[in-house]
Copies of this chain bind each other. A is one copy, B any other.
Amino acid sequence: MKLYTSTFAPNPRRVTMFIAEKGIAGIENVMVDLAAGEHRSASFLAINPLARVPALELDDGRVLCETRAICTWLEGMYPQPNLMGEDFEERAFIEMADRRVEFHLFAGIANSVRHSHPGLANLEQPQFPDFGASQGEKMRDVARWLDAELANHPYVAGNRFTVADITAFCALEFARGLMKFHPGAEGMTHLQEWRDRIAARPAAGRP
């Protein structure tokens, strides 16, 4: 198997952290240079016509794209430790938590960064800085909601570590680097404590 991935991009990091949590060995990483526009090259468009990383090329040559779909496949191939739910009911509730942090937290951070950071001007064309700033505010509303949730249970989806923690952590690490967002400094102490706890996991390091 080959994982088409990219340093610093938050979605590929979700998959590499998922792989590390599972302890899966033997997947070859193929680096795609987003800053150089390599994801828009003819050779990469043949792998993913939507020009996005990550993409997982299976041993039979089929290509699976979209972060969470790749995780679903890996969870099926490597069931332990379970990160996405033991039965359909748990899968649904973990998916709810995962989507909440993906659509509302992660997307707000990504929109904010892509539309306001000068370093991403070649990735997001055109940028709309006012929209980016507004998304930065909305992202904070969601972060405050998550902070309150984490006062009640230790992990994003409840009492155990799941894929939803990976999604939220990779989003917050992206915000930490490019938005200088530090939850503790803004009064979100539960979110900061959770972030520091997840950051201490061996799988949280850069691959």
Instruction: Report yes or no: A142 in contact with B100, Cβ–Cβ below 8 A.
Output: no
> Which residues of B have CB within 8 Å of A100?
50, 65-66
**What is the number of residues of chain A that contact chain B, defined by CB distance less than 8 Å?**
34
Given A50-B104, A73-B88, A89-B73, A68 and B131 contact (CB-CB distance below 8 Å): no
Minimum CB–CB distance from A37 to chain B (whole Å) comes to 16
> Which residues of B have CB within 8 Å of A70?
92
Q: Nearest CB to that of A75 among chain B residues?
A: B88
Instruction: Report yes or no: A64 in contact with B49, Cβ–Cβ below 8 A.
Output: no
Interface class of chain A by DSSP: helix
Instruction: Report yes or no: B88 in contact with A76, Cβ–Cβ below 8 A.
Output: yes
How far apart sit A88 and B50, CA to CA, in the bound complex (Å)?
A: 23
Which of A49, A66, A92 has the largest count of B CB atoms less than 10 A from its CB? A92
Minimum CB–CB distance from A100 to chain B (whole Å) comes to 6
Binary interface encoding of chain A residues 69-85 relative to chain B, with 1 for a CB under 8 A from any of its CBs, else 0: 11011011100000000
How far apart sit A91 and B93, CA to CA, in the bound complex (Å)?
A: 17
Binary interface encoding of chain A residues 41-82 relative to chain B, with 1 for a CB under 8 A from any of its CBs, else 0: 000000001100000000000001110111011011100000
Given A88-B76, A142-B50, A145-B50, A96 and B66 contact (CB-CB distance below 8 Å): yes
Interface pairs (12), CB distance under 8 Å: A50-B100, A50-B104, A64-B92, A65-B100, A66-B95, A68-B99, A70-B92, A72-B91, A73-B89, A76-B89, A76-B91, A76-B92
Query: Which A positions have Cβ atoms within 8 angstroms of B?
Result: 49-50, 64-66, 68-70, 72-73, 75-77, 87-89, 91-93, 95-96, 99-100, 103-104, 107, 115, 126, 128, 130-131, 134, 142, 145
